[in-house]
């Protein structure tokens, strides 16, 4: 167990940071906001942490905290700016925002290290810290998924007009999801960079947006559990798919396309639906004898045994 942990420590850590990145896209999506601003804030957070450590000698905790705050503020401001966009247009505006950040850091001069990026930003982080942050985040998000708040978020997603007729301030919820996604993106970015100790403009690319989106769609978009399942699938797949060797990316593509066609609710959605069907069948089976016609003598004997 211990040996296994130490030989897979990089994968364990990247599972936790990737989970935060995926959540930064899932939180807005759960409220019907198709935004990738969280991925942009991942880049911002990564660079702020690296700049803070390399140029200003900040402590690890301060750097992470600062990244989360700046990510939240930037994403909230972006949300204010583009809140009237919806659907694919909002998605592409936020993708453009994310990619502009990578161009900005290429041209950032000494501050961002240009195309070569920044080196030597090794933070004092271990898996325990990551796990603590992830648990706190997941616990906080659980509150937005259950109870009255969870139902309000669902109403904002499914039917914004109805939600505002019920007295829910839809615009405020949408802006709030921007801020939350910015904080989560900032956390994910800063912790990733502080673990790796380097950051380059290439780290903020279109592939990261694609990764976050596929994790959520394949895992399930309705709950943090879906993001966790998707993260585990995509972070560990290269390890599991090692036997297909060079054709790993082909298998990846086939899996993603198949999930899009056959699993509309993702893996967790399919599991929940399957569990419900199973429970209903069992309840029907359990309910059937009392409602049914008078049991035959043999059946009555069986019923008496139970």
Partner 1 sequence: MAQHILNAVALGSVYLVFALGMALSWSTIGILNFAHGATFMFSAFTAHVVTQHAALPMPAVVLIAVAAGALIATLTQLLAFGPIMRRATDHRSAELRILIGGIGVAAIPLAIAERVTASAPFGFRGSTYQAQVFEVFGLRMTTTVLVIVVAGIGIGVGVWRWLATSRQGLALRAIGVDSETASLMGVDRSTLALGTMATSGALAGLAGALLTFQLGAISPASGDQLLIKAFAIVVLGGLGSMGGVIVGAFVLAGAETFVLAMNQGTWVDAVSFGLIFVVLLLRPQGLFGRKEVRRT
Applying CB under 8 A, which residues contact partner 1? 34, 81-82, 84-89, 92-93, 95-97, 99-100, 103-104, 106-107, 115, 206, 210, 213-214, 217-218, 246-250, 252-261, 264
What is the nearest approach in angstroms of partner 1 to the Cβ of residue 286? 31
Q: Of 236 and 252, which CB lies nearer to partner 1 in the complex structure?
A: 252
Distance CA 259, CA 53 (A): 41
Alpha helices in the chain (DSSP H): 2-7, 9-30, 37-56, 60-82, 87-106, 127-143, 147-158, 160-165, 170-196, 206-219, 224-240, 248-262, 266-291, 297-305
What is the nearest approach in angstroms of partner 1 to the Cβ of residue 219? 12
What is the nearest approach in angstroms of partner 1 to the Cβ of residue 87? 4
Q: Of 131 and 258, which CB lies nearer to partner 1 in the complex structure?
A: 258
Taking Cα atoms as reference points, which of 86, 99, 122, 119 lies closest to residue 42? 99
What is the nearest approach in angstroms of partner 1 to the Cβ of residue 227? 15
What is the nearest approach in angstroms of partner 1 to the Cβ of residue 102? 8
Q: Of 54 and 256, which CB lies nearer to partner 1 in the complex structure?
A: 256
The three-class DSSP label of residue 58 is coil
* DSSP symbol at 292: S
Q: Of 40 and 185, which CB lies nearer to partner 1 in the complex structure?
A: 40
Q: Which residues of 172-195 are buried (b: 16+ CB within 10 A; e: fewer)?
A: ebbbbbbbbbbbbbbbbbbbbbbb
How close are the terminal C-alpha atoms of the chain, in Å? 43
């Amino acid at each position: 167990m211990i040996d296994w942990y130490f030989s897979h420590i990089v994968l364990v850590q990247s599972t936790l940071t990737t989970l935060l990145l995926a959540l930064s896209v899932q939180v807005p999506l759960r409220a019907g906001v198709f935004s990738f601003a969280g991925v942009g804030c991942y880049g911002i957070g990564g660079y702020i942490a690296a700049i803070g450590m390399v140029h200003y000698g900040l402590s690890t905790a301060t750097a992470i905290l600062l990244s989360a705050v700046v990510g939240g503020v930037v994403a909230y401001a972006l949300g204010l700016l583009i809140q009237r966009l919806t659907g694919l247009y909002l998605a592409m505006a936020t993708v453009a925002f994310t990619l502009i950040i990578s161009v900005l850091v290429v041209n950032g001069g000494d501050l961002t290290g240009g195309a070569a990026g920044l080196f030597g930003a090794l933070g004092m982080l271990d898996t325990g810290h990551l796990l603590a942050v992830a648990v706190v985040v997941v616990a906080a998000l659980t509150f937005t998924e259950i109870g009255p708040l969870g139902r309000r978020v669902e109403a904002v997603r499914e039917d914004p007009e109805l939600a505002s007729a019920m007295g829910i301030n839809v615009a405020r919820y949408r802006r709030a999801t921007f801020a939350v996604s910015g904080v989560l993106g900032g956390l994910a970015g800063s912790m990733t960079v502080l673990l790796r100790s380097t950051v380059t403009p290439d780290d903020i690319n279109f592939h990261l947006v694609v990764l976050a989106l596929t994790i959520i769609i394949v895992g399930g978009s309705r709950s943090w559990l879906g993001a966790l399942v998707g993260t585990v699938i995509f972070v560990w797949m290269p390890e599991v798919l090692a036997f297909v060797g060079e054709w790993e990316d082909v298998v990846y593509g086939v899996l993603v396309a198949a999930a899009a066609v056959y699993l509309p609710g993702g893996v967790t959605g399919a599991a929940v639906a399957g569990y419900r069907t199973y429970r209903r069948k069992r309840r029907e089976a359990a309910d059937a004898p009392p409602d049914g016609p008078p049991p035959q003598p043999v059946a009555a004997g069986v019923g008496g045994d139970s």
